[in-house]
């Protein structure tokens, strides 16, 4: 689903730079789930986490209560009045397993402008067209552990020599765009300190800025550009500098089998 900071446009850059070997995959800031759904499921133990309880609750209900969720969504209205009636829920904590809250949150995402959840989009959209997507997502999530924890506690609990953490935190100086998260400037340093202590591997996505480069000085880095989703509202075509940071060789997967054909790379790791 569309979400602020979603990695739809970057998944084909990120996934081929995963480490060559791991047994546990932990997505620390799950958000729209673009990387989880794009990566091959294989046999690794997968964990999806988001501190925003509305997101975690939605994914839990998609996984375990998809039929109930679809039924709740069957007759929702694409109207400003209905949108205004429920948009307050983004600021309230959701109880995991609350299907009604999940349906209302999904309604806000689908009917808001740029998936912001705060302004009505006013565009035609058939909610029924999403039902096959929900069913497919439910099947994909069946073996995925869904968490709603602070990143520091999650990283500490899931760390091992075979763990791989993919982190897509709120970007530096954009923390205010993320509702119901409470991510502050000091949390960037707290995240760095948490990752610095792990036995496993990590890959983190950030905006390319001097503050983050200094914070992660000494680690592997790869920079690229993508469309700036946030600025698209008022500055079409604006580009945004992205930075991948890791505690391993970002090219180890590519270098492991230089004879791999283009078709094999696309099948295993996405369009590269």
Residue 106 tokens read as: 């999904």
- Asked whether 269 and 15 are in contact (CB, 8 A), the reply is yes
Same domain, 17 and 74: no
pLDDT digits (tens), the chain, 272 positions: 766 666 777 889 999 999 999 999 999 999 989 999 999 887 789 999 999 999 999 999 999 999 999 999 999 999 999 999 999 998 899 999 999 999 999 999 999 887 778 888 888 999 999 999 999 999 999 999 999 999 999 999 999 999 999 999 998 876 555 455 567 888 999 999 999 999 999 999 999 999 999 999 999 999 998 765 555 555 555 667 899 999 999 999 888 866 554 444 444 544 43
Predicted pLDDT at 255: 87
Q: Are residues 101 and 33 in the same domain?
A: no
- Taking phi over 0 as left and psi of -120 to 50 as alpha, with beta for the rest, 262 belongs to alpha
Indicate whether 194 belongs to any domain: yes
In a domain, 4, yes or no: no
Asked whether residue 236 falls in the same domain as residue 213, the answer is: yes
| Domains: count for the chain | 2
Q: At which of 87, 105, 140 does a domain end?
A: 140
pLDDT at residue number 10: 86
Q: Is residue 94 part of a domain?
A: yes
In a domain, 66, yes or no: yes
Whether residues 64 and 47 share a domain: the answer is no
Q: What is the pLDDT of residue 267?
A: 47
CA distance 52 to 154: 14
Residue 79, domain extent: 60-140
Per-residue pLDDT at 266? 47
Residue 116, pLDDT score: 79
3-state SS, the chain, equals CCCCCCCCCCHHHHHHHCCCCCCEEEECCCCCCHHHHHCCCCCCEEEEECCCHHHHHHHHHHHHCHHHHHHHHCCCCCCHHHHHHHHHHHHCCCCCCCHHHHHHHHHHHHHEHHHCCCCECCCCCCHHHHHHHHHHHHHHCCCEEEECCCHHHHHHHHCCCCEEEEECCCCCCCHHHCCCCCCCHHHHHHHHHHHHCCCCEEEEEEECCHHHHHHCCCCEEEEEEEECCCHHHCCCCCEEEEEEEECCCCCHHHHHCCCCCHHHHHHHHCCC
What pLDDT is attached to residue 181? 54
Do 119 and 223 reside in the same domain of the chain?
no
Angle (deg, nearest 10), helices 151-158 and 185-196: 10
Burial 120-152, CB ≥16 within 10 A → b, else e = bbeeeeebeebbeebeebbebbeebebbbbebe
Domain final residue pick, 77, 107, 140 = 140
What is the structure's pLDDT at 174? Answer: 61
Are 233 and 186 found together in one domain?
yes
Q: 92, 107, 140: which is the final residue of a domain?
A: 140
Same domain for 41 and 65, yes or no, is no
Q: Using alpha carbons only, how large is the chain's radius of gyration in Å?
A: 19
Q: Do 173 and 130 share a structural domain? A: no
Residue 3 belongs to a domain: no
pLDDT at 4: 66
How many alpha carbons fall within 13 Å on the CB side of residue 195? 26
* Domain shared by 156 and 245, yes or no: yes
Length of the chain as a residue count: 272
22 lies in the same domain as 70 = no
- Considering the domain architecture, whether residues 126 and 156 belong to the same structural domain is answered as no
Q: Both 88 and 174 in a single domain?
A: no
């Amino acid at each position: 689903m569309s979400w602020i900071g979603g990695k739809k446009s970057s998944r084909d850059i990120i996934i081929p730079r995963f480490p060559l070997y791991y047994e546990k995959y932990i997505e620390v800031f799950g958000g729209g789930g673009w990387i989880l759904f794009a990566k091959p499921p294989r046999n690794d133990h997968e964990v999806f986490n988001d501190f925003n309880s509305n997101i975690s609750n939605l994914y839990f209900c998609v996984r375990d209560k998809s039929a109930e969720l679809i039924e709740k969504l069957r007759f929702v209205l694409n109207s400003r009045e209905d949108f205004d009636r429920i948009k307050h829920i983004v600021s309230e904590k959701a109880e995991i397993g609350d299907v009604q809250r999940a349906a209302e949150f999904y309604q806000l995402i689908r009917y808001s402008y740029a998936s912001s959840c705060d302004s009505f989009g006013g565009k035609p959209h058939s909610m029924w067209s999403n039902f096959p997507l929900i069913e497919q997502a439910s099947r994909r999530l069946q073996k995925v552990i869904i968490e709603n924890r602070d990143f520091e506690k999650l990283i500490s609990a899931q760390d091992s020599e075979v763990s791989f953490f993919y982190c897509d935190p709120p970007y530096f100086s954009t923390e205010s765009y993320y509702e119901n998260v409470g991510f502050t400037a000091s949390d960037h340093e707290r995240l760095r300190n948490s990752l610095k202590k792990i036995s496993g591997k990590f890959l983190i996505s950030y905006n390319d800025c001097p503050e983050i480069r200094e914070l992660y000085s000494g680690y592997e880095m790869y920079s690229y550009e993508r469309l700036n989703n946030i600025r698209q509202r008022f500055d079409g075509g604006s580009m945004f500098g992205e930075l991948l940071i890791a505690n391993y060789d970002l090219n180890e997967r590519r270098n492991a089998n230089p004879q791999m054909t283009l078709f094999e790379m696309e099948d295993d790791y996405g369009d590269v």
